[in-house]
Amino acid sequence: MSYVLTLVRHAQAGYGRGDHGRPLTSAGVRQARELGALLVKEGVEVELILHSTAARATQTAQQLGRAYPDAQLLAEDELYHCSPEQLLRLVSEYAPVGGNAILVVGHEPIISMTAQLLAPKNAGLPYGVSTATAIAFKVPGFNALSGGSGKLTGVFHAPLRA
């Protein structure tokens, strides 16, 4: 059985309302919507969208959910500030409701650090990814995630348009 884990950095956010409350800009909303359409076009499966409770991550998840209307959206406060190991533990905890395809919407630098951890050595993944970037992996299961256990299947980016 094949499992898919996709890591997404939230789309472009504005300022104000403290860091946790920063909303997406109107361009960020379009960017998140375009990323969802791109992931569908590229055949990336999603059954659960697990996202940080920060406004920008929640709004990104909602826009991605438009492209995946059958996917369940779940907010997880711990994703706002966590380590790569904590992110992978959360994926494992949500595995029973995640089916075979979990997408996580979070923040930098954790998204790129987690991707670096999952990817095989010399995969060529950048450290630090721009907004609305998705990094997809095939993984052996959600309970067996560890360093180098993912097979990179794609890096997808929705450009920012005014």
Burial (CB < 10 A; 0-12, 13-18, 19+), residue 118, is buried
What pLDDT, on a 0 to 100 scale, did the predictor assign at position 16? Answer: 76
Average pLDDT for the chain? 95
Region 42-49: mean pLDDT is 98
Q: pLDDT-derived band of residue 77, with 50, 70 and 90 as boundaries?
A: very high
pLDDT top residue among 147 and 33: 33
- Integer CA distances (angstroms), 2 to 45, 100, 102, 103, 147, in order: 11, 7, 12, 15, 18
Single pTM value for the model: 0.96
What pLDDT, on a 0 to 100 scale, did the predictor assign at position 144? Answer: 79
**Residue 3, pLDDT above cutoff 80:** yes
Burial (CB < 10 A; 0-12, 13-18, 19+), residue 46, is buried
**Residue 160, pLDDT above cutoff 90:** no
pLDDT top residue among 162 and 33: 33
The helix/strand/coil state of 110 is helix
Contact status, residue 28 vs residue 126, Cβ threshold 8 Å: no
Render pLDDT for 126-154 as a digit per residue (tens, 0 to 9).
788 999 999 999 999 999 799 999 999 99
In the sheet with 151-157, reading across from the earlier edge strand, the strands are 72-75, 48-51, 101-106, 3-9, 133-139, 151-157
Contact status, residue 51 vs residue 84, Cβ threshold 8 Å: no
